[in-house]
C-alpha cells in the first residue's frame, strides 16, 4: 500500500512504484491506509530551499518586533495611558534578558467608566432582590420562590461573566526574544512540538475540500516548520480522503511558501481567495501580484482535481475489476492509482471493507508501528 506500506496481495513493488512511494513520502503525508494520515509541517511539504528562504523572509520582517493587538485601546502594563514608561526603558534591557511576552491592559480612560457601570448595576440588582424578598406573595408562594431562585441564578451567572472584564489583560509575544532563546545556530528551533489532530467522519457528509483547506491552513501556520505536525483521522476509511490528502500535500508545496513569504491571512486558501480585499502584510510587495495570480491558478487546478477524485476512483476501479473478469456477485474492490487494492472502505462495501471495520483498523495500527520504526524524516503516529 502506498506510500510506505505493504502491498495488499503480497506483491513486491516495482522499481518505478518504489520511486513513486518515495516521492509520495517526501510530500509530507504518511498514510499507512485508513483511518489515519500524518502530515508534517512546511518542511515536509515545501522544498528545503524554498522553506529556508521563506524562514529568512519571515525573520527579517519581524526581527526585534513585539507583536501587538491592532487596537489603540491596549497599552503595556509598564506604560501609562499616554504611552510613557513608568519603569525602566524596555529597549535598554538586553534581548536575552527580556521576557518572551509582554502583558497589555485596557487603557484606564476606557476601563474605569465600565467598572463604574458594573458597580452601579450590581447595586441596582442587590436593591431589587432585597425588594423582591421583602414583598412576598402569599397567594402564589411557589411562584414567588421560583422567581427569587431564578433572579439569584441569573445574577450570579452575570457576575461571573463580568469578573474577567473588570481587569482584562492580553499576552503578546516578543518575537525577537523568542528567537534569541529558542532558535539554534543550525536554523532549527527548541520550541515545543505541535501535534494537531483533525478528524473527519465522511468525505461526503463533510466536504473533502473543506477538510483539505483545514489541513493546508495548519501546515501554513507561523511556527517552526520542523515542530509542526498535523494528523488526520478518517472514520470512514475512504480512498477519496487518502487521495485528497495526497493532492493537498502537493499543493502545500506552493501554498505554504506563499503564505510565509507574504504573511498571508487567513491561511486557508478558500477563505483567503474569497476575500474582496487582500491587505498585504509581507515585505515583497513587488512580487505579491504575480505570486498571488500564480497561486490562484494552482488552487483552481487543485480544486478541480479534488472535485474529480470521486469519479476518477470509480472509473479506475471499474476498469481494474473489468480486467479481472469478475462474475456477478463477486466483491468489486476499490483500486489505488498504483494498481493495488484499497484496504479501507470500498466504494461497493464488502466483508472487511466496510465503514468501521475493526480488522482494518488493527491492520493500520500495526502498519503505523512499522512505519514509525523505519521512517526517519516523517512524523507518524499510531
Binding residues for UDP-alpha-D-glucose: 205-206, 235
What the block records as the C-alpha cell of 180 is: 534569541
Cα separation, 363 vs 284, in Å, equals: 48
User: Would you list the DSSP string of 189-222?
Assistant: B-SPPEEEEEEES-TTTTTHHHHHHHHHHHHTSS
Cα separation, 112 vs 96, in Å, equals: 36
Cα separation, 331 vs 53, in Å, equals: 51
Query: Which residue, 227, 289, 223, is CA-closest to 258?
Result: 289
Binding positions:
205-206, 235
User: C-alpha distances in angstroms, 104 versus 74, 79, 165?
Assistant: 6, 9, 14
What is the DSSP pairing of strand 169-173 with strand 194-200? Answer: unpaired
**What's the count of helices (H) and strands (E) in the chain, helices before strands?**
11, 7
CB 260 within 8 A of CB 291: no
- HSE value, Cβ hemisphere, 13 Å, CA-based, for 34: 31
Task: Kindly report the number of other CB atoms within 10 A of residue 9's CB atom.
Answer: 7
Amino acid at each position: 500500500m502506498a506510500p510506505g506500506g505493504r502491498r495488499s496481495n503480497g506483491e513486491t513493488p516495482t522499481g518505478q512504484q518504489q520511486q513513486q512511494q518515495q516521492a509520495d513520502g517526501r510530500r509530507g503525508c504518511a498514510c499507512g491506509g485508513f483511518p489515519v494520515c500524518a502530515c508534517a509541517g512546511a518542511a515536509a511539504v515545501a522544498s528545503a530551499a524554498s522553506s529556508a528562504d521563506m524562514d529568512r523572509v519571515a525573520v527579517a520582517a519581524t526581527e526585534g518586533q513585539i507583536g501587538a493587538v491592532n487596537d489603540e485601546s491596549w497599552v503595556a502594563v509598564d506604560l501609562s495611558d499616554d504611552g510613557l514608561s513608568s519603569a525602566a526603558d524596555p529597549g535598554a534591557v538586553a534581548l536575552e534578558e527580556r521576557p518572551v511576552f509582554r502583558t497589555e491592559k485596557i487603557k484606564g480612560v476606557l476601563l474605569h467608566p465600565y467598572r463604574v457601570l458594573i458597580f452601579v448595576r450590581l447595586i441596582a440588582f442587590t436593591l431589587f432582590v432585597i425588594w423582591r424578598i421583602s414583598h412576598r406573595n402569599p397567594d402564589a408562594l411557589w411562584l414567588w420562590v421560583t422567581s427569587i431562585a431564578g433572579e439569584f441564578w441569573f445574577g450570579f451567572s452575570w457576575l461571573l461573566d463580568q469578573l474577567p472584564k473588570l481587569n482584562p489583560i492580553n499576552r503578546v509575544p516578543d518575537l525577537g526574544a523568542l528567537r534569541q532563546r529558542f532558535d539554534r545556530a543550525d536554523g532549527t528551533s527548541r520550541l515545543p512540538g505541535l501535534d494537531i489532530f483533525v478528524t473527519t467522519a465522511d468525505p461526503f457528509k463533510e466536504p473533502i475540500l473543506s477538510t483539505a483547506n483545514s489541513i493546508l491552513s495548519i501546515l501554513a501556520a507561523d511556527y517552526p516548520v520542523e515542530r509542526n505536525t498535523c494528523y488526520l483521522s478518517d472514520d470512514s476509511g475512504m480512498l477519496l480522503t487518502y487521495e485528497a490528502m495526497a493532492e493537498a500535500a502537493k499543493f502545500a508545496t506552493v501554498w505554504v511558501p506563499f503564505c510565509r513569504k507574504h504573511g498571508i491571512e487567513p491561511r486557508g486558501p478558500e477563505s483567503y481567495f474569497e476575500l474582496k480585499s487582500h491587505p498585504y502584510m509581507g515585505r515583497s510587495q513587488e512580487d505579491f501580484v504575480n505570486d498571488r495570480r500564480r497561486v490562484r491558478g494552482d488552487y483552481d487546478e487543485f480544486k478541480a482535481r479534488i472535485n474529480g477524485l470521486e469519479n476518477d476512483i470509480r472509473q479506475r476501479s471499474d476498469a481494474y475489476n473489468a480486467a479481472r473478469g469478475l462474475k456477478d456477485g463477486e466483491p468489486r474492490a476499490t483500486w489505488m492509482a498504483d494498481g493495488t487494492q484499497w484496504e479501507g472502505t470500498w466504494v461497493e462495501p464488502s466483508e472487511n471493507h466496510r465503514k468501521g471495520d475493526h480488522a482494518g483498523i488493527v491492520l493500520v495500527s500495526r502498519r503505523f508501528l512499522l512505519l514509525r520504526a523505519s521512517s526517519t524524516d516523517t512524523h507518524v503516529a499510531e
